[in-house]
Amino acid sequence: MRFDEKRVLVTGASRGIGRAIALQFAGAGARVAVHYETNQSAAETTLAELPGTGHTLCAGDVANPDAVAQLVTKTVTDLGGLDILVNNAGIFEAHPVDEVSYEDWQHHWQHTLTVNLTGPANLCWHAVQHMRQSGGGRIVNVSSRGAFRGEPRCPAYGASKAGLNALTQSLAQQLAPLGIFVSAVAPGFVETDMASTVLEGPGGDAVRCQSPLGRVAKPEEVAHAVLFLASAGAEFSTGAIIDVNGASYLRS
pLDDT digits (tens, 9 = 90+) for 152-187: 999 999 999 999 999 999 999 999 999 999 999 999
pLDDT greater than 80 at residue 139: yes
**pLDDT category of residue 112 using cuts at 50, 70 and 90:** very high
**pLDDT category of residue 69 using cuts at 50, 70 and 90:** very high
**pLDDT category of residue 23 using cuts at 50, 70 and 90:** very high
Q: How far is CA 143 from CA 25, 86, 164, in A?
A: 19, 11, 7
Percent of the chain with pLDDT over 90: 95
> Judging by DSSP bridges, how do beta strands 56-59 and 84-87 pair with one another?
unpaired
Q: Which residues form the catalytic set?
A: 157
Distance CA 238, CA 40 (A): 33
pLDDT greater than 90 at residue 194: no
pLDDT digits (tens, 9 = 90+) for 212-242: 999 999 999 999 999 999 999 999 999 999 9
What pTM was estimated for this model as a whole? 0.97
pLDDT greater than 80 at residue 83: yes
What letter does residue 179 receive in the DSSP assignment?
Answer: T
CB count, 10 Å around CB of 12? 27
Structural domains of the chain in order of their starting residue, each with its CATH number: 7-244 (3.40.50.720)
